[in-house]
Structure 1
Amino acid sequence: MRLHAIAFASLCLLPLAASAAADTAALREAVDKAIKPLMAQHDVPGMAVAITVDGKTTFFNYGLASKEKNIPVSENTLFELGSVSKTFTATLACYAQGQGKLSFDDHPGKYLPQLKGSAIDRASLLELGTYTAGGLPLQMPDEVTDDAQMLDYFRNWTPNAPPGTRRRYSNPSIGLFGHLTARALQSDFADAMEGQLIPALGLKHTYIRVPAAAMPDYAWGYNSANKAVRVNPGVFDAEAYGVKSSAADMIRFVQANIDPGRLAAPIREAVACTHTGYFRIGDTVQGLGWEQYRAPVSLVQLQAGNGEKMSRGLNEATRLKPPQTPPPGTLFNKTGATGGFGAYVLFVPAQRVGIVMLANKNYPNAARIEAAHAILGQLRN
Structure 2
Amino acid sequence: MPRTFIALPALLTTLAFTAAAQADDTLQSLVDANVRPVMAEYDIAGMAVAITLNGQAHYFNYGVARLDDPQAVTSDTLFEIGSLSKPLTATLAALAQATGKLTLIDSAGQHWPELRGSPLEHASLLALGTYTAGGLPLQFPDKVTDPASMLAYYRQWQPEHIAGTQRRYSNPSIGLLGLLAAKSMGQPFPTLMEGTLFPALGMSHSYIQVPSAQMPRYAFGYSKDNQPLRVTPGMLDAEAYGVKTNAKDMLRFVQANLSPTGLSPDLQRAIVMTHSGYYRVGEMTQGLGWERYPYPISLERLQAGNAPAMALESQPATRLLPPELEPGDSLFNKTGSTGGFGAYAVFVPSQNLGLVLLANKNYPNAARIKAAHAILSALDQHSSTP
The TM-score with structure 1 as length reference comes to: 0.97
Shift of 1:297: 1.0
Q: 1:369-380 maps to which residues of 2 (within 5 A)?
A: 369-380=369-380
CA–CA distance in structure 2, aligned partners of residues 122 and 271 of structure 1: 26
Name which of structure 1's ranges 341-350 and 8-17 shifts more when overlaid on structure 2.
8-17
Aligned to 1:170: 170
> Does the 8 Å contact 2:109/2:122 carry over to 1?
no
Q: 1:245-284 maps to which residues of 2 (within 5 A)?
A: 245-284=245-284
Shift of 1:132: 0.5
Aligned to 1:193: 193
The CA deviation string for residues 176-213 of structure 1, in whole angstroms up to 9 with x for no partner, is 11111111111111011111111111111000011111
- In the alignment, structure 1 residue 102 sits paired with structure 2 residue 102: yes
Name which of structure 1's ranges 64-73 and 116-125 shifts more when overlaid on structure 2.
116-125
Shift of 1:270: 1.4
Aligned to 2:127: 127
Shift of 1:5: 8.8
Q: Secondary structure at the match of 1:72?
A: coil
> Does the 8 Å contact 1:82/1:240 carry over to 2?
yes
Q: 1:163-312 maps to which residues of 2 (within 5 A)?
A: 163-312=163-312
Aligned to 1:157: 157
Q: Secondary structure at the match of 1:68?
A: coil
Name which of structure 1's ranges 218-227 and 10-19 shifts more when overlaid on structure 2.
10-19
Name which of structure 1's ranges 98-107 and 268-277 shifts more when overlaid on structure 2.
268-277
> Does the 8 Å contact 1:346/1:355 carry over to 2?
yes
Percent identity over paired residues: 54
Name which of structure 1's ranges 66-75 and 9-18 shifts more when overlaid on structure 2.
9-18
Aligned to 2:25: 25
Shift of 1:12: 2.8
Aligned to 1:116: 116
- In the alignment, structure 1 residue 72 sits paired with structure 2 residue 72: yes
CA–CA distance in structure 1, aligned partners of residues 21 and 224 of structure 2: 39
> Does the 8 Å contact 1:27/1:378 carry over to 2?
no
Q: Secondary structure at the match of 1:293?
A: strand
Shift of 1:122: 2.9
Q: Secondary structure at the match of 2:172?
A: helix
Shift of 1:15: 3.4
CA–CA distance in structure 2, aligned partners of residues 310 and 264 of structure 1: 34
CA–CA distance in structure 1, aligned partners of residues 15 and 76 of structure 2: 33
CA–CA distance in structure 2, aligned partners of residues 295 and 60 of structure 1: 25
Structure 1 unmatched ranges of 5 or more: none
Structure 2 unmatched ranges of 5 or more: none
Shift of 1:313: 1.0
Q: Secondary structure at the match of 1:205?
A: coil
> Does the 8 Å contact 1:122/1:163 carry over to 2?
no
Shift of 1:17: 2.7
Q: Secondary structure at the match of 1:311?
A: helix
Shift of 1:16: 2.9
CA–CA distance in structure 1, aligned partners of residues 186 and 238 of structure 2: 16
Shift of 1:296: 2.3
CA–CA distance in structure 1, aligned partners of residues 17 and 199 of structure 2: 35
Shift of 1:335: 0.2
CA–CA distance in structure 1, aligned partners of residues 344 and 240 of structure 2: 15
Give the root-mean-square deviation of aligned CA atoms. 1.2
Shift of 1:91: 0.4
Q: Match for 1:279: what amino acid?
A: Y
Shift of 1:269: 1.6
Shift of 1:266: 1.7
Shift of 1:19: 2.4
Q: Match for 1:318: what amino acid?
A: T
Aligned to 2:42: 42
Q: Match for 2:147: what amino acid?
A: D
CA–CA distance in structure 1, aligned partners of residues 85 and 9 of structure 2: 48
Q: Secondary structure at the match of 1:347?
A: strand
Q: Secondary structure at the match of 1:71?
A: coil
The CA deviation string for residues 72-111 of structure 1, in whole angstroms up to 9 with x for no partner, is 1000000001000001100000000111111111111111
CA–CA distance in structure 2, aligned partners of residues 158 and 6 of structure 1: 78
The CA deviation string for residues 153-174 of structure 1, in whole angstroms up to 9 with x for no partner, is 0111111101111001000000
Q: Secondary structure at the match of 2:203?
A: coil
Q: Match for 2:122: what amino acid?
A: R
Shift of 1:224: 1.7
CA–CA distance in structure 1, aligned partners of residues 187 and 22 of structure 2: 50
Q: Secondary structure at the match of 1:354?
A: strand
The TM-score with structure 2 as length reference comes to: 0.96
- In the alignment, structure 1 residue 81 sits paired with structure 2 residue 87: no
CA–CA distance in structure 1, aligned partners of residues 15 and 378 of structure 2: 21
CA–CA distance in structure 2, aligned partners of residues 216 and 228 of structure 1: 15
Shift of 1:376: 0.3
> Does the 8 Å contact 2:140/2:172 carry over to 1?
yes
Q: 1:47-66 maps to which residues of 2 (within 5 A)?
A: 47-66=47-66
Aligned residues between the structures:
378
Q: Match for 1:108: what amino acid?
A: A
CA–CA distance in structure 2, aligned partners of residues 16 and 113 of structure 1: 62
